[in-house]
Amino acid sequence: MIRIRHADETGQHFNKGETSEINVTPFIDVVLVLLVIFMVTAPLTTVNVPVDLPSSTEKPAPRPDHPVFLTVKADHGLALGDDDISVDALPSALETATKGNKEERIFLRADKIVDYGTLMSVMNKLRKEGYLKVALVNLQGQEDPSENSSSVSTK
């Protein structure tokens, strides 16, 4: 039979020899508390719920006398007012339409099938050119789809 000798059995005292044991119990306690915290908060930090965003039922905001409408069409083409324009011609066309006033609100409309990335790239182009006041235009009311009045959501 093999016998393991302990320091107490040999007559050695703990004061004479150095022990290099680390007490890991507090470390394990902290790790377990952090694990519980992360397990509770992780589901709260992700948003993966599919939603079909509704249109606004609020009263439309008043429009200026001569609003500047920028439209993103279904084929990702742009139109300023009633005129088709290219992305490269957008800065000069906006300069003309707003008479150089960067504080003028731009009313941005987009076709329903235009993806979010395309809409954001147009908004980034507007911001790059100095037009920071952008209003998003949507259909008024979800209940009656034949209703074609539009409302404006301002930012």
CATH number, domain of 123, equals 3.30.420.270
12 within some domain = no
Q: Give how many domains the chain has, as a whole number.
A: 1
The residues facing 151 across adjacent strands are 138
**Is the pLDDT reported for residue 155 higher than 80?**
no
d(Cα 9, Cα 4) in Å, to the nearest integer? 10
Look up residue 105 and give its DSSP letter. P
Question: How high is the pLDDT of residue 146?
Answer: 42
Q: Where are the beta strands (DSSP E) in 9-121?
A: 68-72, 78-80, 83-85, 106-110
Question: How high is the pLDDT of residue 30?
Answer: 95
Interval 74-128: pLDDT, tens: 888 888 888 888 888 888 998 988 888 888 888 888 888 888 888 899 999 999 9
28 within some domain = no
DSSP code string of 45-62: G-------PPPB-SPPPP
Domain containing 72 equals 68-154
86 within some domain = yes
Residues 6+ apart with CB under 8 A from 57: 140, 141, 142, 143
25 within some domain = no
Interval 40-74: pLDDT, tens: 887 766 545 454 555 666 676 676 777 888 888 88
91 within some domain = yes
92 within some domain = yes
Number of CB atoms found within 10 A of residue 39's CB:
9
117 within some domain = yes
d(Cα 61, Cα 63) in Å, to the nearest integer? 6
For residues 123-150, give the mean pLDDT. 70
Residues 6+ apart with CB under 8 A from 63: 107, 152
123 within some domain = yes
